[in-house]
Amino acid sequence: MLATKSSARTRLRKSSRRRNIDRVRKATISLVAEPAVGLRLPERQGDMPPRIAEYLATHDFDSACVVIDTDVVEHNYNTMSRALPVGQIFYAVKANPADAVIERLASLGACFDAASPNEIDLCLRYGVSPARISYGNTIKKQRDIQYAYGQGVRMFAFDSDAELEKLAESAPGAMVYCRLLMECEGAEWPLSRKFGCDPEMALRLLDKARTLGLDPHGVSFHVGSQQTDLNQWDFALSRVARLFEDAGRRGINLRMVNLGGGMPARYTSDVRPLEDYADAIMSAMVHHFGPALPEMNFEPGRSIVGDAGVIQAEVVLISRKSDDDDTRWVYLDIGKFSGLAETMDESIKYRFVTPHDDGVTGPVILAGPTCDSMDILYEKAPYELPLDLKIGDKIQILSTGAYTTTYSAVGFNGFAPLQSVCI
């Protein structure tokens, strides 16, 4: 009996929450860009984009190269804009700062999350107004804050006393937001421990920001990159909403929640569609804040560019460690130090396409070409590749548009850094 009543109440709460979300969406839907027509996209998220397949069929490379399809970037941006019409999208430049990516996103009206003066300059070069740039790194040199402020940037992240003091000195009156510490459970590439502070400290710092003449604008968090647990936003937002209330009681008027990134690209495992993430997020927002929502900023990186890129690599060597060993070692001309850093601890598991994918497969350990024994991509994960695979074969690594070029060493062991082409 009790259970029935409470589930009826839950259903009621859910349907009224749904109505609130729909109301918020309807009120803002006119701001959303119409879907671009004529973009050629893969049938399934994370599959080989047809334009990249055509490009690879007619181009050859001496060393590993990532090809980015800017139409897929546009499609991903538009999908997110439509799914989260109340939010402002600040593309996380660090995910892929290729000129053509920034140019395309700037032309679509995106805002940008920059981590350094170089990333700020890049956005400004493409005509992005400084009002559309957020300096989201919580670790900044004093002179870099001064530079950003001089360029007109007015929104800055912080998570410590010392950073706040730097901001007060070099960015007087700026809008500042405090990053909260998160556990990042469920994330394949967690961003825990290093960033953010606990809510009590955040409240004290936001108060201090006001005392220092800064504008305590809001609160940010990041639930960890490639986040597979949709509930993580709900956990985070319950803390954020409590902090908003506590701040309000002290007369601090917070107006913005920055919900970071975390939405996924598709690697070896299927992922939920972006719309499911948007629903979970909006539902949590309405649940914790009611219909009068604060400004919502998002900082997606991986979900915008990840599936837009494919790396073309080459098989350099295939060998075994003993004559009766079943497992082959497959060495590629790309490794941990030339773009595939996210294979660290085998966190991100990429998909491989070979010219022999119809044939029989056997177990492999995949490794990079350098003289460093850390340069092993997958040893524990049960990867299999065709038995027909041979030295010199070209191999494609899917969904490698995010966090690859920028992680590539400039010339470790004398190997060229990951090349990049945008089409």
Ligand X SMILES: Cc1ncc(COP(=O)(O)O)c(C=O)c1O
- Is-contact 368 377, C-beta < 8 A? yes
- For residue 119, the one-letter residue type is E
Q: Which stretch binds ligand X (CB under 6 A): 1-9, 234-242, 294-302, 386-394?
A: 294-302
Of the candidates 81, 75, 11, 80, which has an alpha carbon nearest to the alpha carbon of residue 40? 75
**Cβ-contact 83, 272 below 8 angstroms:** no
369 touches ligand X (CB under 6 A)? no
Q: Which of 261, 335, 339, 417 binds ligand X (CB under 6 A)?
A: 261
Longest CA pairwise span in the chain (Å): 74
Q: Are 189 and 263 in contact (CB under 8 A)?
A: no
Q: Is 218 in the site for ligand X (CB under 6 A)?
A: no
Q: How far is the CB of 388 from ligand X (least distance, A)?
A: 36
Residue with tokens 């993430």: 277
- Those residues with Cβ within 8 angstroms of residue 107's Cβ, 6 or more apart along the chain or in another chain: none
Q: Which of 225, 343, 404, 408 binds ligand X (CB under 6 A)?
A: 225
Strand partners, 367: 331, 376
Structure tokens at 178: 């405090």
Residues 245 and 238 sit within 8 Å (Cβ to Cβ): no
Residue 44 CB neighbours (<10 A): 10
Total chain residues near ligand X (CB under 6 A): 16
Piece of the chain touching ligand X by CB under 6 A; list 165-173, 296-304, 316-324, 406-414: 296-304
CB 179 within 8 A of CB 221: yes
The only residue of 300, 339, 369, 401 in contact with ligand X, by rule CB under 6 A: 300
In whole angstroms, what is the distance from residue 236 CA to residue 281 CA?
10
Contact between 95 and ligand X (CB under 6 A)? yes
**Whole-number minimum distance, CB 292 to ligand X, in Å?**
26
Start-to-end CA distance of the chain, whole Å, equals: 61
Q: Which residues pair with 328 in a beta bridge?
A: 364
Buried b vs exposed e over 266-276: b needs ≥16 C-beta within 10 Å?
bbeeebeebee
* Least distance CB 192 / ligand X (angstroms): 12
| Residue with Cβ nearer ligand X (262 or 368) | 262
CB of 223 to ligand X, least distance (A): 8
Kindly state whether residue 232 participates in binding ligand X, applying the rule CB under 6 A: no
Give yes or no for residue 288 binding ligand X (CB under 6 A).
Answer: no
Measuring CA to CA, how many Å separate 283 from each of 23, 24, 195, 402?
A: 12, 11, 26, 28
Nearer to ligand X, 205 or 304 (CB): 304
For residue 112, what is the enclosing H or E element? strand 111-114
Instruction: Give the one residue of 117, 216, 260, 339 binding ligand X; rule: CB under 6 A.
Output: 260
Closer residue to ligand X (CB): 289 or 407? 407
Q: Based on CB atoms, which residue is closest to ligand X, 153 or 385?
A: 153
- Asked if residues 167 and 208 have their Cβ atoms less than 8 Å apart, the reply is no
Q: Exactly one of 302, 328, 336, 351 binds ligand X (CB under 6 A); which one?
A: 302
Under the criterion CB under 6 A, does residue 299 sit at the interface with ligand X? yes
| Shortest spacing between CB 376 and ligand X, in angstroms | 24
Per CB under 6 A, which region of 101-109, 299-307, 375-383, 409-417 contacts ligand X?
Answer: 299-307
DSSP state of 328: E
Binding mask 124-163 for ligand X (x = CB under 6 A): ------------x---------------------------
As measured in angstroms, the least distance from the Cβ of 123 to ligand X is 15
Report if residue 301 touches ligand X, rule: CB under 6 A.
yes
Q: Nearest approach, Cβ of 392 to ligand X (angstroms)? A: 34
Question: Which residue has the closest beta carbon to ligand X?
Answer: 261
Tokens of 131: 């009002």
Q: Is 309 in the site for ligand X (CB under 6 A)?
A: no
Q: Which residues bind ligand X (CB under 6 A)?
A: 92, 95, 113, 136, 191, 222, 225, 260-263, 299-303
